């Protein structure tokens, strides 16, 4: 029986949040995940590392998940999944095919006793002890916004756009190629490292100055990034400061991160709008970039002056600060909920799954899974 820090893990439930870039794994009732690992496996056939979310079809996904969950349990959790309950934190917007295959792998391949599925936006509020907030998740693939009102997700008001780390990585690649005259062939992990170590979100005024033909501002210092063991890449001050700008630049449909938030607020009843604007919770690893939240606030106030949002009748925006780091706020919510007795009533047992051969849909009112209370 594995023992960590004097606590036996035998009676704890494994809590897993499988993100498109990183998977957070730990035990119920704990304050942080035991590990955060890349959501990828080494494929023995092709001798390549494959991201789980880049699956070709459901059969391919099944094989990838079997390998990945094996690593999660036998390399990191160090317990056998057989006849144990598992808690999965997942986005309400995650593809049905993914959750169906995931359930099949857990129930049929690993024979877990039950699965407790928790919607990530909703459980993120557990650490704050509030029931109403606008949850903005800026992770790897996309930014998603879902209002949670009185403990219920208002799914009809959701907003999602591919404005997250994946786009920022491609932006760094393009900017590096233009600055180094197309000589750069660097992989995603290096791009991520450059982003986390060297880049930050700048202020609105400085971002506007960079757009001028002859910027008058003093750029921040360039950085020599060691690369390949022998050479180094020059990361210019401009690149360091402007890579996150794509989150705030409106696309052809006049959509960006700040308009998503305002549109989500606009889609709820008038009396809830002010409450949501004053209870914003930003989660997801991308939001950990220095300057991210203060810039987002600046952008929200700027957008508020546009005629499209005059009818919002909101004057103030307030952000909550979660007791966890932003990248595992949802996981922490899962760990809190799974430590309550709700797990006994709300879990889907293996017997039920084998009888019905499906797991209930979040949006299906008949299944009544979406509310936790």
Ligand X SMILES: Nc1ncnc2c1ncn2[C@@H]1O[C@H](COP(=O)(O)OP(=O)(O)OP(=O)(O)O)[C@@H](O)[C@H]1O
Least distance to ligand X from the beta carbon of 91, Å? 6
Q: Say which DSSP state 74 is in.
A: I
The rounded distance, in Å, linking the Cα atoms of 183 and 276 is: 47
Q: Which stretch binds ligand X (CB under 6 A): 56-64, 172-180, 252-260, 281-289?
A: 281-289
Nearer to Mg ion, 34 or 274 (CB): 34
Element (H, E) at 160: strand 159-161
Pattern of binders to ligand X over 9-38, x per CB under 6 A?
----------xxxx----------------
The rounded distance, in Å, linking the Cα atoms of 103 and 235 is: 44
Question: Residue 192 binds which entry of Mg ion, ligand X, none, with Cβ cut-offs from 5 to 8 Å by kind?
Answer: ligand X
Question: Residue 141 binds which entry of Mg ion, ligand X, none, with Cβ cut-offs from 5 to 8 Å by kind?
Answer: ligand X
Site for ligand X in 149-178 (CB under 6 A): 164-165
Nearer to Mg ion, 241 or 284 (CB): 284
Least distance to ligand X from the beta carbon of 232, Å? 21
Q: Please list the residues that pair with 226 across neighbouring strands.
A: 232
Question: Residue 268 binds which entry of Mg ion, ligand X, none, with Cβ cut-offs from 5 to 8 Å by kind?
Answer: none
Q: Kindly give the pairing relationship between strand 152-153 and strand 143-149.
A: antiparallel
The rounded distance, in Å, linking the Cα atoms of 104 and 353 is: 9
Nearer to Mg ion, 19 or 85 (CB): 19
Q: Residue 337 phi/psi, 5° resolution?
A: -60, -40
Q: Are 32 and 328 in contact (CB under 8 A)?
A: yes
Size of residue set near ligand X by CB under 6 A: 19
Question: Residue 324 binds which entry of Mg ion, ligand X, none, with Cβ cut-offs from 5 to 8 Å by kind?
Answer: none
Of the residues 40, 192, 263, 299, which one makes contact with ligand X according to CB under 6 A: 192
Nearer to ligand X, 114 or 165 (CB): 165
Least distance to Mg ion from the beta carbon of 89, Å? 8
Site for ligand X in 300-359 (CB under 6 A): 327
The rounded distance, in Å, linking the Cα atoms of 182 and 204 is: 29
Element (H, E) at 100: helix 96-104
Nearer to ligand X, 142 or 241 (CB): 142
The rounded distance, in Å, linking the Cα atoms of 367 and 373 is: 14
Least distance to ligand X from the beta carbon of 333, Å? 13
Name residue, tokens 């494929």: 43
Question: Residue 20 binds which entry of ligand X, Mg ion, none, with Cβ cut-offs from 5 to 8 Å by kind?
Answer: ligand X
The rounded distance, in Å, linking the Cα atoms of 202 and 217 is: 12
Angle (nearest 5°) at CA 327 between 290 and 49: 105
Question: Residue 70 binds which entry of ligand X, Mg ion, none, with Cβ cut-offs from 5 to 8 Å by kind?
Answer: none
Nearer to ligand X, 160 or 342 (CB): 160
Residues whose CB is less than 8 angstroms from the CB of residue 202 and which lie 6 or more positions away in sequence, other chains included: 210, 241, 242, 244, 245, 291, 295
Element (H, E) at 147: strand 143-149
Residue with nearest beta carbon to Mg ion: 19
Of the residues 139, 147, 333, 334, which one makes contact with ligand X according to CB under 6 A: 139
Query: Site residues (CB under 5 A) for Mg ion?
Result: 19, 139
Please give the residue ranges that form the binding site for ligand X (CB under 6 A).
19-22, 137, 139-142, 164-165, 192, 196, 284-286, 288-289, 327
């Amino acid at each position: 029986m594995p023992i960590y820090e004097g606590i036996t893990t035998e009676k704890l439930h494994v809590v897993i949040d499988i993100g498109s870039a990183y998977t957070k794994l730990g035990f119920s009732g704990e304050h942080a995940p035991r590990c955060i690992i890349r959501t990828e496996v080494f494929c023995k056939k092709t001798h390549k590392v494959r991201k789980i979310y880049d699956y070709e079809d459901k059969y391919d996904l099944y094989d990838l998940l079997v390998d990945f969950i094996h690593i999660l349990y036998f390399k990191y959790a160090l317990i056998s999944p057989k006849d144990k309950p598992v808690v999965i934190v997942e986005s309400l917007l995650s593809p049905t095919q993914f959750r169906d295959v995931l359930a099949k792998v857990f129930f049929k391949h690993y024979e877990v006793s039950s699965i407790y599925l928790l919607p990530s936006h909703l459980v993120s509020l557990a650490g704050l002890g509030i029931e109403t907030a606008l949850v903005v998740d800026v992770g790897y693939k996309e930014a998603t916004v879902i209002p949670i009102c009185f403990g219920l997700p208002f799914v009809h008001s959701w907003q999602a756009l591919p404005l997250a780390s994946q786009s920022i990585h491609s932006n760094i690649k393009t900017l590096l190629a233009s600055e180094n005259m197309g000589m750069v062939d660097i992989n995603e992990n290096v791009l991520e490292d450059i982003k986390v170590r060297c880049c930050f979100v700048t202020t609105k005024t400085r971002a506007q100055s960079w757009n001028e033909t002859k910027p008058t501002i003093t750029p921040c210092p360039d950085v020599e990034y060691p690369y390949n063991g022998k050479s180094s890449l020059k990361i210019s001050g401009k690149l360091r400061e402007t890579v996150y700008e794509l989150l705030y630049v409106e696309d052809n449909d006049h959509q960006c991160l700040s308009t998503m938030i305002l549109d989500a607020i606009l889609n709820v009843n008038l009396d809830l709008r002010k409450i949501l604007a004053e209870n914003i919770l930003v989660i997801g690893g991308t939001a950990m970039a220095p300057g991210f939240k203060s810039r987002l606030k600046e952008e929200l106030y700027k957008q508020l002056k546009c005629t499209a949002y005059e009818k919002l009748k909101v004057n103030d925006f307030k952000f909550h600060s979660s007791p966890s780091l932003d990248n595992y706020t949802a996981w922490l919510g899962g760990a809190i909920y799974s430590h309550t007795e709700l797990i006994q009533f709300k879990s889907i047992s293996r017997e039920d799954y084998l009888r019905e051969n499906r797991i209930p849909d979040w949006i299906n009112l008949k299944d009544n899974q979406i509310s936790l209370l």
